[in-house]
Structure 1
Amino acid sequence: MMTAASIQTYTLRVNGMHCKACVFLTESELAEHPKVVSAKASLRSRSVEVSGDFGDRPLDEIARDLSAFLSEHSLSATAQGKHVAWDEFGVAVPIAIGCAALFVLLQEIGVVNLVSGDTVTYGTAFLVGVIASLSTCMAIVGGLVLSISATFARSGDRTKPQALFHVGRVASFLVLGGVIGLLGSAFRLNSTGTFVLSLSVALFMLALGINLLDVFRWASPLQPSMPGFLSKRTLGAANLTHTFTPALVGGATFFLPCGFTQAMQLYAVSTGSPVTGALTMFSFALGTLPALAVLSFTSLAVRTRTKQGVFFKTVGLLVILFAVFNVVNSLAAIGVIEPVFNW
């Protein structure tokens, strides 16, 4: 029986924590552990303080036990430490360089047009969606997908809820993308205003990329996020069993604090066009669909610490590359510099 005298408190590092949604997921999942009394996560330190009756087990064993409750969200807990896994860059850098080379090659031969002098094309939005679905979206939205799957599996219905979730998600990104594009039109931005917003998108993505590298602790607060109550309500709704809950939860993911989503939302506002805003967010959502759909029906996730580290560092490097492209193209668009990526 758990008593006040048996309660112990430990601080563990949470690998894979990159946004506020990860904080909410960490706290809510660990709260389900039978031995845990409370869990308080921190994005700044990427750690969680857990209190509970863990007996005389060593800290590493406790961390492995708690990680089992986090693994479906591509998160894991380890003993607290300040070690930076520099060796993971040995794998991440070549992969990122290879992806960048492929990106340039596709541009050169005209297969895709991902870089434009003053706009983010639909191809870019789609590609950013693909990258997002393999990183932060896998942790945030993927967790919702698995929660919905577990909730409705009790009634023997797995396919319909997952389909409704993805339909609701894509549809909401289309509709709400148009709404924020329409809101942007009310500002009637001139070329300077457009440049400022485009540069903001680039800096936003730069902060996100640096944060994903999991090297600089000061980068976490630089990433803006949606109000916490929206995220908590969205994440909590996954446990409701109404027939249309999956579609509503899928639609509500538009408001989750995912850095990639927010970067695309900021760009959609800057377009000042409901059509462009809608199609940009729709393209982004389509980019996230393949990986999330696979996750829905196979329970695929990045579960090991090594794979997580390489995964996020690779994505971080690619996002930083995108940010550099955006900065250079924004400067070229207003004539500050000559076009560099003239493809």
Structure 2
Amino acid sequence: MLSIDYLSAFIIGLLGSGHCIGMCGGITTMLTSAISPQQKGSDKFKLVSAYHVGRIFTYSLIGAIVGFSSSIAIKSIGVPLGFLRLFAAVFLILLGLYLGQWLMWLSKVEKIGKFLWRYLSPLSKRFIPINNAKQALALGAIWGWLPCGLVYSTLTWSLASGNALSGALIMTSFGLGTLPALLSISLGSFGIKSLLTNIKFKKIMALMIILYGIYSLMFAYQQLF
């Protein structure tokens, strides 16, 4: 089931990229413009790539922490793994409703991360202008903490994985799924943006996520009962 989780997390990142563009598109453009003008085209690509490596590293780190926490809960408290999968499936349905703009409950969940983000975001000023890959990696790692309902929903899968490694790999897969859209924006290719931000396309993608959430819910229910 976990191998399916990795693939599904990647697809969710891919399908949710329209939200990523709306949420992070401005940040992506800002970070790209922060690269020193002296950098050549090939060097700029390396620095942009470093942003995303840093961002995905943060997702993986948070996934590992969440997965490790759930393993402790399962072993120490006896929380059933099926219950955690049920919880993750419900969040997946809420994510689809959120992306389709039919029910915006996840926007309230995003507020949880805003407290930490207030303290982390000012750190980015220390790394601008960007002259090397270390600075770009650091900025990307900070960017990964940006409050996002899409990220939080996928983190519930890390929670349901029951261990740190699987939790990290799920979030890595998700981060890789978001990469094509955000990387294309970073490099100034806006063709994919018009598709992913198209209202009809976004709603179709949201429906697909909801359907998969219902399937996951049924699977988790069978595990419990």
Which category of TM-score, normalised to the shorter sequence, fits these structures? 0.7 to 0.9
Residue 310 (structure 1) shift: 1.8
TM-score by length of 1: 0.54
Structure of higher CA gyration radius = 1
Match for 1:186 among 53, 72, 76? Answer: 72
Question: What amino acid is aligned across from residue 129 of structure 1 in structure 2?
Answer: G
Residue 170 (structure 1) shift: 2.6
Question: What amino acid is aligned across from residue 34 of structure 2 in structure 1?
Answer: T
1:333 is matched with 223
Question: What amino acid is aligned across from residue 137 of structure 1 in structure 2?
Answer: C
Contact 1:208 1:223 (8 Å CA) reproduced? no
- Cα distance in 2 for partners of 1:154, 1:258 equals 31
Residue 248, structure 1, aligned to residue 131, structure 2 = no
TM-score by length of 2: 0.79
- Cα distance in 2 for partners of 1:187, 1:204 equals 19
2:164 is matched with 274
- Cα distance in 1 for partners of 2:53, 2:22 equals 19
- Cα distance in 2 for partners of 1:241, 1:326 equals 45
- Cα distance in 1 for partners of 2:197, 2:63 equals 33
Residue 195, structure 1, aligned to residue 82, structure 2 = yes
2:98 is matched with 211
Contact 2:85 2:160 (8 Å CA) reproduced? yes
Q: What 5-or-longer segments of structure 2 have no aligned partner?
A: none
- Map 1:4-83; keep pairs closer than 5 Å: none
Bigger fraction of residues in helix: 2
Bigger fraction of residues in strand: 1
- Cα distance in 1 for partners of 2:58, 2:177 equals 14
Aligned CA distance change for structure 1 residues 222 and 176 (closer, same or farther; 3 Å)? closer
- Cα distance in 1 for partners of 2:106, 2:52 equals 30
1:73 is matched with none
- Cα distance in 1 for partners of 2:213, 2:105 equals 17
Contact 1:144 1:235 (8 Å CA) reproduced? no
Residue 197 (structure 1) shift: 1.9
Contact 1:173 1:285 (8 Å CA) reproduced? yes
Residue 308 (structure 1) shift: 3.2
- Map 1:122-133; keep pairs closer than 5 Å: 122-132=6-16
Residue 195 (structure 1) shift: 2.5
Residue 150 (structure 1) shift: 1.4
Aligned CA distance change for structure 1 residues 120 and 184 (closer, same or farther; 3 Å)? farther
Question: RMSD value over aligned CA atoms?
Answer: 3.0
- Map 1:63-212; keep pairs closer than 5 Å: 116=1, 121-132=5-16, 134-152=17-35, 154-156=37-39, 158-188=44-74, 193-212=80-99
Contact 2:60 2:171 (8 Å CA) reproduced? yes
Residue 248 (structure 1) shift: 2.0
Deviations 1:93-148 (A, max 9, x none): xxxxxxxxxxxxxxxxxxxxxxx4x885211122112112x222222233322111
Q: What 5-or-longer segments of structure 1 have no aligned partner?
A: 1-115, 336-343
In the alignment of these two chains, the number of paired residues is: 215
Contact 1:165 1:250 (8 Å CA) reproduced? yes
Contact 2:18 2:197 (8 Å CA) reproduced? no
